[in-house]
A and B are shown apart, each in its own frame.
Chain A
């Protein structure tokens, strides 16, 4: 099963095995990763599952939809080039080993 590593704002990290097809949000919530809220349950409504994706692998992801792009405008932490909503990133075999960094604030 592919693995994702969540780097927390306090410097610690949590790695989780994610079944292919599950989202990075589900992976975080299911492993009790603090710092990801996902208040809307992953329906791309709330912008509280913001993550920074490691730059070198950004190109491996499907680009954000119009809706995700709009929601990213309002995330509580600074929006950067590598900002994404974790509810919109689905795990694949190819993404194995992906590292995402959590912002220090979500809402």
Chain B
């Protein structure tokens, strides 16, 4: 191990997978993962669901056991904030003034939730959800809350709303757009999710935003909305989007534009530096090569492995279709591909029962599918995208045709 180390900034899902994959792919370097949070990396998806409801504990969140990192020769520097990158001498500077030299650098710094830009946004009962510490605060606050206002009808907001509603809290969700998940799912799927939430007594207000927070001491008691109505609540949860943590890269002169720009193999504009995960933006082959910054476990994992392959001069791990899931109540939403820009959409299954998929096409090509409690459609759609198996609107609209058979036959 005479080469200088591979340093990974961001002890995240992407960072951990990148470090493990670099070792798996034969890297002989010392590997150091630097993270701002205390402790070892953890799974974030359960934070809004099983962890928030108390069904999962800190131990079950762990991404990998501590002993695995030791056995793979991966070192961690927790509670360490990197403040700058000196690319000329290949060194990082931490907020404590420590210098860390690198031979290769990986940026997996993630993103952070956007905050409300209103007076009172720092009040004790206005909470965000990204880290386990924030999830813990929310869980504690939920124990004594009888009512909650969720600002933002996106995935985080809806998952939190579902968990809180199931815990017996009266939940109101406000959303600026005229419907839920405007940029993420089709109207049919948004309506189906809305119906499920309403059946659990969640109240929705569309086309409004929070205009002012009225405090009592350090706590918000009333939230005045843009239509001048007022909502009284014990707890406010803010889920209004994210901001990529790309400042470190930008300050070091790397090309950034709403995320650190990376090529198809995870390289930034500096050949010794790769990036992966929520902080990275990349031309996406499944979306007409638009530059996309995807926030998902799949994207973090696949970009991490791809970047690790680049660092170890291995052949890339291949193009993987994007996919995503969200669990709300007993409904599982799964999305394969990038569905924006569809010109034809076909329903498969029975929307009335809340069990259906919507298959999307553009210029006659299959581009992706959303599935609600139809997991086999989802996995098969994913394989069609990944293995370039063509699907037609007439085939997917006919439930008497078994998609598994189509996929199997096209493999021959």
Binding site for A on B (CB under 8 A): 20, 24, 43, 45-46, 64-65, 68, 71-72, 297-298, 301, 320, 323, 325, 327, 332, 334, 374-376, 378-380, 382-383, 386, 404, 407
B43, B332, B374: the one contacting A41 at CB < 8 Å is B43
B71, B332, B380, B404: the one contacting A45 at CB < 8 Å is B332
A107 touches B386 (CB 8 A): yes
Of the candidates B64, B325, B376, B379, the one having the most CB atoms from chain A within 10 angstroms of its own CB is: B379
A74 touches B325 (CB 8 A): no
A91 CB to nearest chain B CB (Å): 14
A74 touches B297 (CB 8 A): no
Residues of chain A lying within 8 A (CB to CB) of residue B65: 30
Residues of chain B lying within 8 A (CB to CB) of residue A70: 374-376, 379
Residues of chain B lying within 8 A (CB to CB) of residue A100: none
A-B CB pair tally, cutoff 8 Å:
62
A76 to B379, CA, bound (A): 9
Known: A30-B65, A32-B71. A39 touches B376 (CB 8 A): no
A49 CB to nearest chain B CB (Å): 12
CB of A75 closer than 8 Å to a CB of B: yes
Cβ-closest chain B residue relative to A78:
B408
Interface SS majority for chain B = helix
Which A58-107 residues have C-beta < 8 A from chain B? 67, 70-71, 73-76, 107
Of the candidates A30, A39, A45, the one having the most CB atoms from chain B within 10 angstroms of its own CB is: A45
Interface SS majority for chain A = loop
Residues of chain A lying within 8 A (CB to CB) of residue B380: 73-74
Range class of the A interface residue count: 20 to 34
Residues of chain A lying within 8 A (CB to CB) of residue B325: 40, 43, 45-46
A34, A39, A74, A76: the one contacting B378 at CB < 8 Å is A74
Q: Which 3 A-B pairs have the closest CB atoms?
A: A74-B379, A70-B376, A70-B375
A107 touches B320 (CB 8 A): yes
B75 CB to nearest chain A CB (Å): 16
Known: A32-B71, A41-B45. A76 touches B383 (CB 8 A): yes
Residues of chain B lying within 8 A (CB to CB) of residue A71: 375-376, 379
Cβ-closest chain A residue relative to B330:
A67
A16 to B38, CA, bound (A): 29
A74 touches B43 (CB 8 A): no
Of the candidates A29, A46, A47, A67, the one having the most CB atoms from chain B within 10 angstroms of its own CB is: A46
A-B contact pairs, 28 of them (CB 8 A): A29-B64, A30-B64, A30-B68, A34-B24, A39-B297, A40-B45, A40-B297, A41-B43, A41-B45, A41-B46, A43-B45, A43-B325, A44-B375, A45-B325, A45-B334, A45-B375, A46-B298, A70-B374, A70-B376, A70-B379, A73-B380, A73-B404, A74-B375, A74-B376, A74-B379, A74-B380, A74-B382, A107-B386
Residues of chain A lying within 8 A (CB to CB) of residue B374: 70
Cβ-closest chain A residue relative to B300:
A39
Residues of chain A lying within 8 A (CB to CB) of residue B375: 44-45, 47, 67, 70-71, 74
A30, A32, A41, A47: the one contacting B379 at CB < 8 Å is A47
A19 to B65, CA, bound (A): 13
A39 to B332, CA, bound (A): 16
